[in-house]
Structure 1
Amino acid sequence: MGGIFLNKRAIGSEYEKRAAAYLEQCGMCILEYNYRIRSGEIDLIARDGRYLVFVEVKYRANSHLGTPLEAVDARKQKTIVRTAQCYLLQHGYSAETPCRFDVIGIDGEQITHVKDAFWGG
């Protein structure tokens, strides 16, 4: 069972790297990969101009379980927002720091980037 988790983790890391390369091509600067706290994780944290961007990356080999973007439901969004708040506090950002929550869906070889995918308030 542990091998299956490690394999899924390795696959996830590979797609996160692909998403990061895509974001860098779009002019964003990757600040952190896999920011983790006990209650959650953020796949990528990037800078896009004046915005601090928290990015969730979802991959699907096929659409049997729905699209990658559909996987970021309200519960997942809430976890990402709480985790982002901890990141801001830990790294000394002010409450006025402009932030955005993006989702990158990778469906096979197709990358879909949704900027401002959900609201953090």
Structure 2
Amino acid sequence: MNNRRTGSEYEARAAEYLSAKGYRILEKNFRCRQGEIDLIARDGSYLVFVEVKYRSSLAKGAPAEAVGPLKQRRIRQTAVFYLYSRGLGLDSPCRFDVVSITGNEILLIQNAF
């Protein structure tokens, strides 16, 4: 299985998981020149930008550890473009979450950065 297909599979699992927790999924794989955001959802009054990371094991570290400062900056820049493109202000209540998947275990980290 190629990386893109694997990523799509786990992003779909993350979307199902978040939906079961009450999130309303608005977009999947939002892309622009600034970067990509795996999932964009609504959780109450918050617009939530979600990065999904998968690892088959912890041998190379926890999946969430792969969301370092550079990745965070790209996601923030992409989020700003999303807000602008949808006519939403920068004062919109937003949050950045990470869904970390290891094997069959899913961990949601709210306000990850």
TM-score, normalising length: structure 1? 0.91
User: Partner of 1:16 in structure 2?
Assistant: 11
User: Partner of 2:109 in structure 1?
Assistant: 114
Please report how far the alpha carbon of residue 12 of structure 1 lies from its aligned counterpart in structure 2 after TM superposition. 0.2
2:26 pairs, out of 28, 31, 41, with 31
The amino acid of 1:43's aligned partner reads D
Please report how far the alpha carbon of residue 46 of structure 1 lies from its aligned counterpart in structure 2 after TM superposition. 0.1
User: Partner of 2:89 in structure 1?
Assistant: 94
Structure 1 unaligned blocks of 5 or more: none
User: Partner of 1:47 in structure 2?
Assistant: 42
Matched, 1:64 2:59: yes
> Is the CA contact 2:100–2:108 (under 8 Å) kept in the aligned structure 1?
yes
List, as ranges, runs of 4+ consecutive aligned residues in structure 1 with deviation greater than 4 Å: none
Please report how far the alpha carbon of residue 95 of structure 1 lies from its aligned counterpart in structure 2 after TM superposition. 2.2
Please report how far the alpha carbon of residue 34 of structure 1 lies from its aligned counterpart in structure 2 after TM superposition. 0.2
What's the C-alpha RMSD, in Å, of the aligned pairs? 0.9
Structure 2 unaligned blocks of 5 or more: none
Distance in 1, Cα, partners of 2:70 & 2:29: 19
Please report how far the alpha carbon of residue 39 of structure 1 lies from its aligned counterpart in structure 2 after TM superposition. 2.6
Please report how far the alpha carbon of residue 64 of structure 1 lies from its aligned counterpart in structure 2 after TM superposition. 2.0
Q: Which has the larger radius of gyration?
A: 1
User: Partner of 1:105 in structure 2?
Assistant: 100
Same amino acid, percent of matched pairs: 56
